[in-house]
Amino acid sequence: MVDPFAVKDCALISIATGKEAQNLRELSDRLETIHSGCIYYHFWGGMLRPSFDEPEYQNDFAAWAWRSLHDSRLAERLAIIDPNYYKDIEELRRELMDVIEERLAESEFVPWARSGQRFKFIRSQIVVFDTGIRIEHPGELRDRIPKMSLGSIFYHFIDARRRTKDGKNDFVQWFLSFNRGIYDDLIKRINSIDPYFTTLSALRNELHAVFEMCPMEG
């Protein structure tokens, strides 16, 4: 008997660390020891933060390199880092530092930001809410996806990869518990979705489209 899918919602709480960087060397030095929750926040936090315009860059490090250091080359290199390709935050941290160190080695001087434009390290904390919604059959999940809040999409599709042992999202984890080949195509299609270079609203639409294409029960 498979347990029902428990729909959760979440909010990303921002916690100031008091740590800042005014130049690229300081950024690299801080990254070496900063709490892993900071790296998580500065890569993923923008998806849940209220925003009134389209961000030029998906992560905060790239945005700071562009807006405050005026280093378009570094900004582009940081912008193409996709956190989904790294098995954990520590591996992502190393990649981030490697890109920055490479840029420092190329530069004749260390880029500085103005005093009011320091990079401020923010740490994230996920607050999870139980919606009380329980889904018994896969077909019900297909119908529920368009009604899910953006916080639910973030929690079950993005944050789940950090929480689960094999880095799977909660939808795939649930379908695997049925141990039936009928869901293999659906699982494959869900796993092919990259949630990073998009918005939560677009991700919800993409998930719904995948569910609509595959045979379901319930």
pLDDT digits (tens, 9 = 90+) for 5-50: 999 999 999 999 999 999 999 999 999 999 999 999 999 998 988 7
Angle at which helices 89-106 and 24-33 pack, to 10 degrees?
160
Report angle CA 206, 184, 88 to the nearest 5 degrees.
65
In the chain, where the domains are located: 5-9+132-213, 11-123
What backbone torsions phi and psi does residue 53 show, to the nearest 5 degrees?
Answer: -145, 165
Q: With H, G, I as helix, E, B as strand and everything else as coil, classify residue 16.
A: strand
pTM reported for the whole predicted model = 0.92
- Report pLDDT digits (tens) over 162-199: 888 788 999 999 999 887 778 899 999 999 999 999 99
Q: What is the chain's mean pLDDT, rounded?
A: 91
Query: Strands, DSSP E only, in 41-160?
Result: 119-135
Query: What per-residue confidence (pLDDT) applies to 166?
Result: 83
